[in-house]
Amino acid sequence: MRETFDVVVVGAGVAGLSAGWSLATSTGADVLIVERKKEVGDLVRCGEFIPSFTQIRKLMPKAKSIGRFYETFLKNSVCNTIKKIRIFSPRNKEYEFQFDGLVLRRDIFERNIAAEIERAGITLLTKTTAKIVSNKKDTEQVKIALQNQKTSKIVKAKLVVCADGFPIKSGRTNFGAKIKLEDVALCIQQTVESATVDDDAVELYFGKKYAPGGYAWVIPKGNGRANVGVGIRLSFLKQGRYSAIDYMDFFINKHPVSSRYLSSAYLRSLTAKTLWVGGLLPNVHWNRVLLAGDAAGTLIPVNGSGIPTALISGYLAGETASQFLKGNCKLSTYAITLRREIGDIIKRGYLYRRLGDAFIKSDTVFEKVLHIIGKHTLAKVVKCEPISPMFD
Ligand SMILES: Cc1cc2nc3c(=O)[nH]c(=O)nc-3n(C[C@H](O)[C@H](O)[C@H](O)COP(=O)(O)OP(=O)(O)OC[C@H]3O[C@@H](n4cnc5c(N)ncnc54)[C@H](O)[C@@H]3O)c2cc1C
């Protein structure tokens, strides 16, 4: 394998693949994508739920690239369509609203993008872990250590797109951002089979007994299959007596609503992952490294939606890299375009999450707040739409 590249992309999740696709379509640059998994799309740790394209256009009107992903890669990777979101309050009062969404086979979706990238001549190296070993100020090259089971070597690149999720493992931890426990959620998820779920509705359950500081979800995949999970904030978990797995068990087997249809379902393997719910990092570029996707903090903090924003940020990182290599822009352009396209929705999501934090500590208070704000405002908060011009 060669030792120098124009761009090295670390991580072939949705953000890294999106950066790769953008680079493949806009330059003749030498690009290497490094992924530590055995194959792209392996070990999906995600609810796989995304808004329909009509919803996305409404939610992120300034995001230019996202439509291309819907047009090009969704074909055979949608396993269910969603028509509504149903929310259960801590005392199990139901709030339901219309929402057009899609449930992905994310493994297929990612492999579709990977195949297109490889067709364009970009090298995708799997089973390899990358670590940035040198990215000094005013440097012209970043050094990256690549390690697989048999060998290790150093490669050099003019630029690196760091798309390795949260927490960033390839470089300095979160590139200097301060990590507070309240900004980190621990998510546990299990795919269930043979459950009598409502295939039209994504269900979200609130309440301290089942998901302190977060919510539990049931995302139907069709034919009795569903992604079932709980997301708990680390700051809440620290104070409690139970582990995240205990909460998952309570949700499946003891919750008065969900246990009725989940306790007898067949449970498949359990996955766990931490997520950053603290909003965009203050610095999304660091000398010659651009951060994309969860590594940059693009997940929407109030609802945990991270796929569309990761795709958008990856694409923008790839575009900026390609323009930078042609001498047409500075790398700081990335931060500007990223904030222009998705900055508002992430900032609003963070603000809503912080507002919610004031009430979510007490089930009684939260129940009352839900009652007062009612279904329409709740729907806006969950979708992360502005609830008044103040939040626009
Ligand atoms: C349980 C759970 C449920 C979720 N549900 C939803 C949902 O329903 N809808 C939604 O929109 N979002 C959801 N999200 C969030 C969404 O999954 C993320 O926001 C999204 O995956 C971010 O994409 P990414 O490419 O930035 O990071 P990732 O998907 O984490 O990809 C990072 C990639 O980098 C690789 N990698 C890491 N370190 C290295 C290294 N050093 N060298 C090489 N490769 C490396 C990893 O193997 C991985 O493939 C969920 C998240 C979780 C945990």
Supply the residue whose CA is at minimum distance from atom 10 of ligand 1.
305
What's the maximum distance between 2 C-alpha atoms anywhere in the chain? 62
pLDDT of residue 134: 84
Q: Where are the alpha helices (DSSP H) in 210-331?
A: 234-239, 244-253, 258-262, 307-325
What confidence tens digit (pLDDT) does each residue in 319-345 have? 999 999 999 999 999 999 999 999 999
Strand partners, 192: 226, 267
Average pLDDT, rounded, for the chain: 93
pLDDT higher at 268 or 60: 60
At 279, the pLDDT band (50, 70, 90 cuts) reads very high
- The pick from 294, 316, 345 for probing ligand 1's pocket by mutation, whose C-beta has the most ligand atoms within 8 angstroms, reads 294
Omega before 167 within 30 of 0, i.e. cis: yes
Counting atoms of ligand 1 from 1, which one is nearest the CA of 293? 26
Does the structure show a pLDDT above 60 at 2? Answer: yes
- The rounded Å distance from CA 318 to ligand 1 centre is 18
3-state secondary structure of 116: helix
What confidence tens digit (pLDDT) does each residue in 5-52 have? 999 999 999 999 999 999 998 878 999 999 999 999 999 999 999 999
Q: How far is CA 7 from the centre of its chain?
A: 23
CA distance 280 to 301: 10
- The pick from 32, 34, 46, 346 for probing ligand 1's pocket by mutation, whose C-beta has the most ligand atoms within 8 angstroms, reads 46
- The rounded Å distance from CA 152 to ligand 1 centre is 25
pLDDT of residue 338: 98
Average pLDDT in the 273-302 region? 94
Element (DSSP H or E) covering residue 130: strand 129-134
Does the structure show a pLDDT above 60 at 167? Answer: yes
Does the structure show a pLDDT above 60 at 72? Answer: yes
Compute CA distances 238 → 112, 246, 251, whole Å. Answer: 40, 14, 19
List all residues 6 or more positions away from 184 whose beta carbon is below 8 Å from its beta carbon: 233, 234, 274, 275, 276, 277, 278
pLDDT of residue 168: 74
pTM confidence score: 0.96
What confidence tens digit (pLDDT) does each residue in 209-257 have? 999 999 999 999 999 999 999 999 998 886 668 899 999 999 999 999 9
Average pLDDT in the 260-275 region? 92
Q: How far is CA 377 from the centre of its chain?
A: 24
At 389, the pLDDT band (50, 70, 90 cuts) reads low
Angle in degrees, 0-180, between the axes of helices 14-26 and 106-119, rounded to the nearest 10: 30
Token reading at 311: 């795709």
- The pick from 70, 164, 202, 284 for probing ligand 1's pocket by mutation, whose C-beta has the most ligand atoms within 8 angstroms, reads 164
Amino acid making up residue 73: F
Question: Are 249 and 210 in contact, with CB atoms under 8 Å apart?
Answer: no
First to last CA, the chain: 49
- Give one DSSP letter per residue of 152-185, joined into a string: EEEEEEEEEEE---SS--SSSGGGGPPP-GGGEE
CA distance 43 to 36: 12
Q: Where are the alpha helices (DSSP H) in 76-126?
A: 106-119
- The rounded Å distance from CA 366 to ligand 1 centre is 30
Q: Which of 29-43, 97-111, 129-143 has the weakest average pLDDT? A: 129-143
The DSSP letter of residue 293 is G
Does the structure show a pLDDT above 80 at 170? Answer: no
List all residues 6 or more positions away from 354 whose beta carbon is below 8 Å from its beta carbon: none
Within 6 Å (CB) of ligand 1, which residues are found?
10-16, 34-37, 45-50, 129-130, 163-165, 169-170, 187, 189, 229, 273, 275, 293-295, 299, 304-307, 310
Strand partners, 161: 9, 290
pLDDT of residue 347: 97
Amino acid making up residue 312: I
Counting atoms of ligand 1 from 1, which one is nearest the CA of 48? 8
CA distance 152 to 145: 7
How do beta strands 184-193 and 49-51 pair? Answer: unpaired
Does the structure show a pLDDT above 80 at 178? Answer: no
CA distance 376 to 373: 8
The DSSP letter of residue 343 is I
pLDDT of residue 157: 96
How do beta strands 4-10 and 152-162 pair? Answer: parallel
Q: Where are the alpha helices (DSSP H) in 32-98?
A: 53-59, 66-73
CA neighbor of 163 nearest in space, from 219, 234, 101, 113: 113
pLDDT of residue 103: 98
In this structure, the number of other CB atoms found within 10 A of the CB of residue 77 comes to: 20
CA distance 187 to 14: 18
CA distance 370 to 89: 8
pLDDT of residue 26: 80
Supply the residue whose CA is at minimum distance from atom 8 of ligand 1.
47
Supply the residue whose CA is at minimum distance from atom 1 of ligand 1.
46
Average pLDDT in the 55-71 region? 94
Please give the share of the chain, as a percent, with pLDDT higher than 90.
Answer: 84
At 196, the pLDDT band (50, 70, 90 cuts) reads very high
Does the structure show a pLDDT above 80 at 392? Answer: no
